[in-house]
Each structure stands twice: as structure tokens, then as C-alpha cells.
Amino acid sequence: MLAALAAAVALLLVGAAGAQAKVVELTGTTTFTPSAEATQRISSVAISITPTGQATREGNSFVFPIAAGFGNTRTYSGLLAHKGGLKFAQGSRSAVVRNFVAVRVRGAGAVLLAQIPGLKGGCGHLRQALNEFALQHPAAAKRVRHFARNHPKGTRHLLRAVRNYCSGGRVIVLARLTNLSKELTYNSALLSADLELSGQAARLLNRLADVSGFHAGIPLGTAESRVTVVG
């Protein structure tokens, strides 16, 4: 399902790729390392964090396999969909965020989306990211319309992938991604970003711990995605 979701975004990226750029399929892992401030705040309210699904812990960091990814080699707009998640618990209360999707739209910023299983709503965040990309790249939107007319079965598959992602839980913006950077090699790259807590995620933590100390903009930590071009 995550792979099909990534393919839906790749369709837009392919439409926008120019002669000097192409869209490549990516695989790899993303390592998230919490900041000292985030660790202190979470510890102070006795919230524990454990990896779930295919996520793992390595020291103070968490590692998430990339289920599917696509990126424009010139603009680095793209999407990385991850397996696994994190469970936040305090006493008998807990909340899980999973299936992290990092979306970067050139000129519109970058966000980290996540699902909260058992709840509904929030699909507008995903649609907004796709719409912003299409608005900035009219040629991409034209290609998408052309694809839809000529490949109705493929279009239904892509739309179903987006609906399935949304139906798997409430979609929230977990964090804003800032200070994006990249280091390139022949067929791989190290993509780095700082994460800032979103208002939605802050409210989730405040409800879980029955506090009011979490707010948007708190530095969550850093993420490093080691990606390799597929094929």
C-alpha cells in the first residue's frame, strides 16, 4: 500500500521532470535521532517511546525501513514512505504513530506525515501536498490528466492507494522538515533534515500526558535517510 502511494506521487514527479532531470526510485533506511530538548521534555512527563512494526532502536536512535520512495534528481522534490512506527506510552495510556511519509514539494516546504491507527480523518494533508506540487508544475497536472484519460485502471489503482493510506488511520502532520541537505555519490545519497514538532503532534502529546508543555516548533531531532537508486 505504501509503495502504491509513493507511485501516486511519482506520477506527478515524472510529469514535472525536465530534460536535465529524471525521477528515480529509491530504497534504503531513515534514522531518526531525538534532540536533547525533546528527550528531556518527554522524560520529564514519564512518556516512554518504543519502536513498533519493522522499526528498530539503535542506541538513542530509531531506524525505519523505506517501503518505497521516489525523487526528482534535479529538484529533490519527492516522497519517502516508511514501514514501522513509534508507540508513546504513559501508564495505561498510549498512542501509536506509524507509516511515516516524508513529502518535499519544492517551494512549498517539506513535512512528515503519519497515521494514528483507530482514528479517522486528515487525508486533506496528503491531498494538499499533491495539489501544491501540481499547482507549481502545470505540466505535471497536464500529464496526470492525460494519464487518467488513457490509463483508467492505473488511475484507479493510484487513487485507491491514497484512500487506503487515509483509511488506515488519521493522517496528521507530525513534523515540519527544515535545513534539508544532501550528499551524493554515484547511485546513492544521504538526505538530512531537522524535525520541528507540529501543532497536531503537540496536542497529541499534551493529551497523552495531561500537560500543556508541548507546542509547535519544538526541535524533535534529526533524520538521515541513506537512499540508493533502485535498478
DSSP letter, residue 22: -
- List residues bridging with 133 in a β-sheet: none
Under 8 Å between Cβ of 193 and 175: no
Q: Is 209 helix (H, G, I), strand (E, B) or coil?
A: helix
Overall size of the chain counted in residues = 231
**Nearest alpha-carbon partner for 85 in 111, 125, 54, 117:** 54
List the domain boundaries for the chain: 2-172+184-211
pTM comes to 0.81
Distance (Å, rounded) from C-alpha 229 to C-alpha 217?
33
Q: Are strands 23-34 and 61-72 parallel, antiparallel or unpaired?
A: antiparallel
In 3-state terms the chain splits into helix, strand, coil percentages (rounded to 5) of 35, 45, 25
Is pLDDT above 90 for 54?
Answer: yes
| Segment 191-206, tens digit of pLDDT | 999 999 999 999 999 9
- Lowest average pLDDT, out of 70-79, 82-91, 118-127, 130-139, goes to 130-139
- 217 pLDDT band, cuts 50/70/90, is very high
Average pLDDT, the chain: 80
CA dihedral 51, 54, 57, 61 (to 10 degrees): -90
| Segment 81-116, tens digit of pLDDT | 899 999 999 999 999 999 998 988 666 678 898 999
Buried/exposed 53-67: b ≥16 CB within 10 Å, e otherwise: bebeeeeeebbbebb
- 132 pLDDT band, cuts 50/70/90, is low
Distance (Å, rounded) from C-alpha 66 to C-alpha 20?
26
pLDDT above 70 covers what percent of the chain? Answer: 70
pLDDT score of 17? 44
Under 8 Å between Cβ of 50 and 59: no
